[in-house]
Structure 1
Amino acid sequence: MRRINMTRCDSRRNGSRIIMTKRVVTLAHYYTQPEIQQMADKVGDSLELSLFAREAEADTIVFAGVRFMAETAKILNPAATVILPDAGSTCSLVTQTDIVALKRWRDSHPDHVHVAYINSSAEHKALSDWIVTSRNVDDIIAHLIGEGKKVMFSPDRNMGAYLNYQYGYDMPLWSAVCEVHDKFNEAALNEALNAVPGASHLIAHPESPLPVLKQAEYVGSTSGMLNWVKQYEGNPKDVIFVATEDGILYNMGLARPDLDLRQAPIYAGCQCNSCPYMKMNTVEAVRRAQQGEGLVIDYLSPEAIEAARKPVERMLEFSRRYTL
């Protein structure tokens, strides 16, 4: 874990010396613990945090999330020092993707546009034509296919399978999954739904398996699910099952304390599905990162940053023009 010097000179005087404390901005994903979110300057999903990181006038960005998110912040704001509180905060979509094999797969479809989910490494992004998030993936792929382009999708097999099913696409898919969302189980879900005496609803993140997504009343991004809950106008006694990482239930509960919100089960009786990598962002680790200790994202060359930046910028420009 590397420690950096967090002070330099500015206009604040201390005797004969002029001292500056670097501006540190802390970002936190919805899947981090409530205590971490309360320490953050901005809480959001991948798209919101990417946009915020790009425009942040910060010397240092502490990213309470996972490594690909911190890398994305560095790609979009290379002048800032970006620190991940715990070097172990990775993502199964990254660890399940061999970059050499990915390049061979991409090269085997030379007439396709390679669209990659933002849950991917900087090397993965550099092999992509477009980056998408769960919030804008539907719109961007529909836009590309509407232009007559062939599309291949990586790395999330579940998300790609849902898009193929929902819209009749025939996209070649990479075969990695989010180990958290992939645990949601159709049989356990049916058992839970049948056990509710009154009305029940299911909303789900598109990283979940297709049999679960087929039953969902709403499929969308983390922010999309949060907005769905905020706008819910049904009977507050209804039970709303949420098929995503349990961190978002904190934000949903704050927004709608009147609702019966439950995480969808991963097997009979278990509503206990957390991302172990997000939970590595402890209060102590974030505090240390705010003081300059943690994994500094300084290993990306300028050439790697530029190659990864282009598909991310395409996404951000599309989002500004069409969806935000």
Structure 2
Amino acid sequence: MSKRVVTLAHYYTQPEIQQMADKVGDSLELSLFARESKADIIVFAGVRFMAETAKILNPQAEVILPDAGSTCSLVTQTDVEALRQWRESHPDHVHVSYINSSAAHKALSDWIVTSRNVDDIIAHLYEQGKKVIFSPDRNMGGYLNYQYGYDMPLWSAVCEVHDKFNEAALNEALEAVNSKAYLIAHPESPLPVLKRAQYVGSTSGMLNWIKAYDGAVSDVIFVATEDGILYNMRLARPELDIRQAPIYAGCQCNSCPYMKMNTIEAVKRAQQGHGTRIDYLSQAEMDAARLPIERMLDFSQRYYA
């Protein structure tokens, strides 16, 4: 009997990679799809923490990452032992971790969140009278503290792609536009940029914002996130003037180098069984990491049903 192979691709991969996938989505969508896929082999065209999450949710499946080097700065900037000590220094707090984190990081967490459900989950915890510490993304946590008046202690790591967006370059770009201009932004961006945005949300949230946009076609929409999603946005609304927000001196060239390691050749090899197998996680680590992920998925399925 042939094995069922499912290929997942994140929105930040190249268009030709997305066209090779059975499912394209953001972290939450792909996590849900992976849990329900019943696949024998999962090829994850994304970055390592995403493939680890797929393995944690599908321990019986063989999960293959096309390129061993596709990591994430939020992972590489986090020393797990230092994180453990930080968590232990806040014994009366709930540890909420962004899904952009390693399996070992997730195993030290009480809840996992994505950029789509982080607002709702943290609001839920505060409504229950809980105190929260947030890791690893300093920018996302800082925006939540600013937006909602929280006082969450924050870990200090950033997405190296989103952290490049800056207010000065954005102001220059906005001033150069003769028509009405809008900014939508991912919450991994720096706070001065997020303060300027008309919409702050997840990758899927920004895509849905574009799909629903009912303004003039002469308007310019700047998008502060990785450039891969612009393909999906322009595919959905080809008549709109959609531009990536600048990072410096008007440069609109901000890509995640790790996502772009998912080449056609690498994905094809992975679909044939070659690549980096996520087979190094211990059962204890997977069990510990699965609990906060399942909390998040169960919450999301109830809340967004």
Q: Residues 98-137 of structure 1: CA distance to partner in whole angstroms, max 9, x if unpaired?
A: 0010000000000000000000000000000000000000
**Structure 2: how far apart are the matches of 1:40 and 1:55?**
16
Moved over 6 A (4+): none
Matched, 1:192 2:173: yes
Which residue is equivalent to 1:17? none
Partner of 1:125: 106
2:32 alignment counterpart: 51
* 1:102 equivalent among 77, 83, 95: 83
Alignment partner, residue 40 of structure 1: 21
Q: Which amino acid aligns with 1:41?
A: D
Match of 2:239 in 1: 258
Q: What does residue range 99-178 of structure 1 map to in structure 2 within 5 Å?
A: 99-178=80-159
TM-superposition CA deviations, 1:171-191 (whole Å, max 9, x none): 000000000000001000000
Q: Partners of 1:141 and 1:100 in 2: how far apart?
A: 24
In structure 1, distance between residues paired with 2:60 and 2:37 = 11
Q: 2:296 & 2:230 partners in 1: Cα distance?
A: 28
Report deviation, 1:302: 1.0
TM-score (norm 2): 1.00
Could you tell me which of 193, 200, 206 is aligned with 2:187? 206
- Looking at structure 1, the residues matched to 210 and 38 of structure 2 have their Cα atoms a distance apart, in angstroms, of 32
| Gaps in structure 2 of 5+ consecutive residues | none
> How many Å separate the matches in 2 of 1:125 and 1:301?
13
Please report how far the alpha carbon of residue 22 of structure 1 lies from its aligned counterpart in structure 2 after TM superposition. Answer: 1.3
Give the C-alpha shift of residue 52 in structure 1.
0.3
Query: CA offsets, 1:50-78, max 9 Å, x none?
Result: 00000112110000000000000000011
Per-residue displacement from partner, 1:123-177 (whole Å, max 9, x unpaired)? 0000000000000000000000010000000000000000000000000000000
Instruction: Give the share of equivalent positions with the same residue, in percent.
Output: 83
Counterpart amino acid of 1:129? D
Q: Which runs of 5+ in 1 are unaligned?
A: 1-9, 11-20
- Distance of 1:147 and 1:157 partners within structure 2: 24
C-alpha distance in 2 between matches for 1:265 and 1:323: 33
How many pairs does the alignment contain?
A: 305
Superposition deviation, residue 323 in structure 1: 2.3
- Picking from 266, 289, 302, the partner of 2:270 is 289
Q: Larger Rg: 1 or 2?
A: 1
Taking structure 1 as the reference length, the TM-score comes to 0.94
CA contact (8 A) 1:163 1:169 kept: yes
- Per-residue deviation at 1:268? 1.2
Residue deviations 1:245-291 (CA, integer Å, cap 9, x gap): 00000000000001000000000120000000000000000000000
Deviation (angstroms), 1:32: 0.1
State the secondary structure of the residue aligned to 1:242.
strand
2:160 is equivalent to residue 179 of structure 1: yes
3-state DSSP class of the match of 2:184?
strand
- Which of 39, 42, 67 matches 1:86? 67
Partner letter of residue 302 of structure 2?
A: R
1:277 corresponds in structure 2 to: 258
Distance 1:256 1:198 in 2: 18
Do residues 67 (structure 1) and 74 (structure 2) align?
Answer: no
Please, what is the CA RMSD of the aligned residues? 0.5
**Other structure's SS at 1:198 match:** coil
Structure-2 separation of matches of 1:268 and 1:237: 24
Structure with a larger share of its residues in strand? 1
Kept after mapping to 2: 8 A contact 1:136/1:323:
no
